[in-house]
């Protein structure tokens, strides 16, 4: 997927959000992990600091840290956007749009600080689904957050192709959330994708997670390789 330089780059999610969204256990965190469409999350930075193995891929990594910083949303615009849509969210993980902005802003700053060295070390890779430049079975676990089902600009076949590709490079895939855009409604692509994955002999299940920020958004898709 090409990168539109006119678009605002979202603020990144923090490690605790990843742990909640994907039900990551202490054992999971020790695996070789691929973070697809990782964006400006601090997951890679924090995991690396803890001695764990993560590679993140995203087309935004073709930019420099300064260029990424220039495309971030204005801090107060971010707050105002969530204030306007406050009823669509549960304010338990975050007490307010201001606290959310602080957490996401800090996560993004940690990413930006880590990005130049991580890029040199090969921890950040410029790549985009549904084609990944990795070996078959290179990872134990592939994660994909807030991309495949929420993005209504993607074609109907894109989520299936992307999940199949992630299953090629990882033993297990976890996708969160399963909602369409910001509607709080399950994606219309979800059931057809599940049916086709099962038809291709993948093991598929929907699992509830403890994390729920968007109303109705407390489920992830877990897919394992062909039986």
- Return the CATH number at 68: 3.40.50.150
In a domain, 170, yes or no: yes
CA angle 161, 167, 172 (to 5 degrees): 135
How many domains does the chain fold into?
A: 1
Residue 10 falls within a domain, yes or no?
A: no
The model's pTM is 0.95
Element (H, E) at 75: helix 75-84
CA distances for 4 relative to 60, 71, 154, 186, angstroms: 9, 11, 14, 27
Residue 129: closest CA among 202, 34, 46, 17:
34
How do residues 165-222 score in pLDDT, each as one tens digit? 999 999 999 999 999 877 789 999 999 999 999 999 999 999 999 999 999 999 999 9
Q: Establish if 3 belongs to a structural domain.
A: no
Sign of CA dihedral 7, 19, 102, 124: negative
């Amino acid at each position: 997927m090409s990168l539109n330089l006119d678009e605002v780059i979202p603020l990144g999610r923090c490690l605790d959000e990843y742990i909640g969204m994907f039900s990551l256990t202490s054992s999971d965190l020790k695996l070789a992990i691929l973070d697809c469409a990782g964006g400006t999350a601090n997951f890679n930075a924090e995991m690396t600091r803890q001695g764990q193995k993560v590679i993140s891929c995203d087309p935004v990594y073709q930019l420099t840290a300064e260029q990424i910083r220039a495309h971030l949303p204005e801090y107060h615009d971010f707050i105002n956007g969530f204030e306007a849509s406050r009823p669509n969210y549960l304010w338990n993980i975050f007490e307010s749009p201001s606290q959310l902005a602080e957490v996401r802003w800090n996560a993004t700053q940690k990413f930006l600080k880590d990005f130049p060295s991580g890029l040199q070390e090969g921890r950040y890779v410029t790549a985009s689904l549904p084609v990944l430049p990795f070996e078959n079975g290179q990872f134990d676990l592939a994660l994909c957050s807030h991309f495949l089902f929420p993005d209504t600009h993607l074609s109907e076949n894109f989520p299936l192709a992307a999940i199949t590709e992630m299953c090629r490079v990882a033993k297990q895939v976890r996708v969160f959330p399963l909602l369409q855009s910001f509607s709080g409604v399950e994606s219309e692509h979800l059931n057809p994708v599940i049916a086709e994955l099962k038809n291709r002999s993948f093991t598929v299940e929907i699992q509830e997670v403890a994390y729920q920020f968007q109303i109705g958004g407390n489920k992830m898709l877990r897919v394992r390789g062909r039986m």
